[in-house]
A and B are shown apart, each in its own frame.
Chain A
Amino acid sequence: MKKELPERFRNHKHVWVFIEQERGHVHPVSWELMGAGRILADKLKVELAGVIIGPPGEATLAAAQEAACYGADLVYTVTNPIFADYRNDPYTKALTDAVETFKPEILLLGATTLGRDLAGSVATTLATGLTADCTALDVDPDGSLAATRPTFGGSLLCTIYTLNFRPQMATIRPRVMPMPERVERPLGRLVEHPLAMAEEDIVTKVLKFIPDRDQAKSNLAYADVVVAGGLGLGSPENFQLVTQLASVLGAEYGCSRPLVQKGWQPAERQIGQTGKTIRPKLYIAAGISGAIQHRVGVEGADLIVAVNTDKNAPIFDFAHIGVVTDALHLLPQLTEAFRRRLSAHIRDRIAS
C-alpha cells in the first residue's frame, strides 16, 4: 500500500507517550517509552508530550513533573475523581477525546494489562492502526512510524506501518526499551484537558483491589542477574539446577515457553515475547535454543552467557559467551564454585 495520507490527518503532529499511573504509582514502562519517544520526536523535529489520566491531586502533578525529567516537553493531564482506579470506559473516553482535540501523529503505550486494554479500545474508536508488542521503533525519511515486532513461529521480524491513518499507535512491553537517564528539569508546559464525566455515567464498578502478595511478585523483569532454563534441561526435576544457581547468585530465575506449556514452571517465570522482557546485567541461559521469541525478551541484557550442547544453536548468534557443554553437569559446578567464592555480602550486593 502507498502512503496517501488524507487531508484530515495532515495536521496531526507530535509524539505522545501515555503515562500509566495507578494508585499514585507510575509504571516504569512509561519512562522507558519517554526515552524511545524522545528519539522519534527529535528525528521528526516535533515535541514529545506525556499524557496522564488520573484523579486530581499531588500524585498526578508529581507524575507530570517526573515526565519532564524523563524528557517530556509538555504534559497533558485529564483529571477527575473517577480515575482513581483504572476502568476501560472512562479512560478510553479521556484518551480518545484528548487525541481528537490535540491530534498527535504518534501515540505509544506500555503493553501492560492496562495499556493493552486501553490501546485496543482507543484504536478501535479512532479507527486507526495499532501495532502490538513492538521490539523496535523508528521513523522513515518520509516521517512514517516503522514499528517492528516478531512474527509467529519462526526466526523472523516484521515491520508494520500505519500509513494512511493517524495517530500511528503502538504498544511496547516493559523493559524492551532502555530506561533513559533522569535529569532534573522543570516542567515546560502543563495542559489540563477537561472531561465531563461523572461516576453515575460509568457502568463498571470496582468492588475492590487485591494487591499481589509479596512472594507472588517475582522481580524477574527488573532483576540485575537472571538464570534461566529451557527444554534442554530434560525434566522438571532438573530445573532445580537453575534455581540453585540463581539463589547462590542472588538472582531471579526464569524459563523458556515450553516449560510453562508443560506445566514445569508458572507463567510469570516465562521470558520472551509472550512472557517477560528482561534487561539484566548478566543473563545465564541453560538448555535454551534461542528462538526469536526468546531472543527478543533477553536482547537488552548487558552480558548473555549461553550453555548449550549444540554449538550451532541459534542462541550463540546473540550470546556474548557461549559454553558448549552439558548444562546438567555445568550448572552444579558453577553453583558450587560460586558458593565458595561469594560471601553473603557480595551476594546481597549483586542482588541489590
Chain B
Amino acid sequence: MHIVVCIKQVPDSAQIRVHPVTNTIMRQGVPTIINPYDLFAVEEALRLRDRHGGTVTILTMGPPMAEESLRKALTFGADRAVLLTDRFFAGSDTLATSFALATAIKKIGETFEPVDIVFTGKQTIDGDTAQVGPGIAKRLGLNQLTYVSKVSALDLAGRSIDVERRAEGGVQALKTALPCLITMLEGTNEIRRGSLPDALRAARAEIVTWSAKDAGIEDVTRCGLRGSPTVVKRVFAPTPRSEKAKIIEVSQAQLKATPKDQHKTLLPEALI
C-alpha cells in the first residue's frame, strides 16, 4: 500500500504581527511550522501503514525552505519526502495549487509505486480555504472523503475503505473504493513522538526535489499567478465602528462596593 500525505509549511500564526502603519503582514523572523491540521493526516497515514504495511510519502509544495517541514515529517516515521519547488508556483490560488499537487501525485505514482490513498489536512491556518483536498481528488478522479474523523476499516484485497465523516447534524458512515482522498479532521488522533532511529534517518534522508517540469507539469501557465482564477485586489484594515464604544472603567474598589447594582450600569435595561 502506498499513501501520499500532503502537508503545507505555514507561518506560526501565533507570532504574526501586522505593521501598524503600512497594514502589511510582517513575516520576517516569523518561525514556520507544519500546518497543525496536517499532523492528524500524517499520523493517520502512519497508523494505516503500521497496521497494513506499505509506504508513506510526504509531499509539499513550497519554497526550498519547506524542506524543513518534510524532515520533521520524516522524524515521525514517514518513508519518503518529495518537495515540489519552482518559481512558477508563486502566487498560486487553490485551483493552481491543487493542479500542481495532483500532477506531482500522479508522477509519484509512476516513479515509485501506485498510490492507494492521498491524505490532506482539513484546512490550513493561513489560507484556510479547505479547497485543496477536493481539488486534488477531482483532478485525479479519487473518491473524495472530507472531514473524516475515523478510518473504520481498510480492505486492501477488496480495495475498499470505510470511514466516518463529520456531516451537518451527525456523522456519515461511508464505504468507498480505493484509490481515495481523505481530508482528516483535527483532534482525531495524537501525533507520535518520533523514534531516535527515525530522527537520525530524517536528518540524513535525501529529499526528492522536483521542479514543475520534473513533476510532469508541461503547461506552467496553469501554475502560480497565471493559473489562478482568483485575484486579491485589496488588503485593508477593518473600519472601526462609527460610534465609539461606551467605556465604563470599573476599579477594584468599585467592584467590591456596589455588587448589587453592577448590572444596571453595565447591561441594557431591556434584558433585566
Contacts and interface: CB of A to CB of B under 8 A. Distances in A.
Q: Do A and B bind each other?
A: yes
Given A124-B95, A154-B18, A158-B234, A113 B167 contact: yes
B116 interface: no
B263 A337 contact: yes
Given A152-B16, A164-B229, A130 B94 contact: yes
A188 B262 CA distance: 54
A305 B170 contact: no
B138 A132 contact: no
Interface in B82-127: 93-95, 98, 123, 125-127
Contacts of A25: 169
Interface string B2-17: 0000000001010011
Interface in A129-188: 129-133, 146, 151-165
Given A206-B172, A267-B186, A153 B135 contact: no
A204 B175 contact: yes
Given A92-B138, A334-B263, A163 B231 contact: yes
Interface size class, chain A = 35 or more
Given A158-B232, A203-B143, A341-B263, A330 B255 contact: yes
Interface in B214-249: 225, 228-238, 240-241, 243, 245-249
B250 A325 contact: yes
Determine the main DSSP class of B at the interface with A: mixed
B245 A319 contact: yes
Interface string A202-231: 011111111110000100000001000000
A129 B129 contact: no
B266 to A, nearest CB: 6
B130 interface: yes
B236 to A, nearest CB: 6
Contacts of A323: 247-250, 266
B238 A155 contact: yes
B174 interface: yes
Interface stretch (A97-105, A114-122, A233-241): A114-122
Contacts of A211: 169-170
Contact of A88 (B17, B93, B144): B144
Given A121-B137, A211-B170, A282-B268, A156 B18 contact: yes
A48 interface: no
Given A27-B168, A129-B231, A318-B241, 5 more contacts: A119-B134, A128-B229, A157-B235, A210-B172, A337-B259
Interface of A: 1, 20, 22, 25, 27, 85-89, 92, 112-114, 116-117, 119-121, 123-125, 127-133, 146, 151-165, 203-212, 217, 225, 267, 273-274, 282, 292, 295, 303, 305-306, 311, 316-326, 329-330, 333-334, 336-338, 340-342, 350
6 contacts: A120-B131, A120-B138, A210-B172, A321-B245, A323-B250, A342-B272
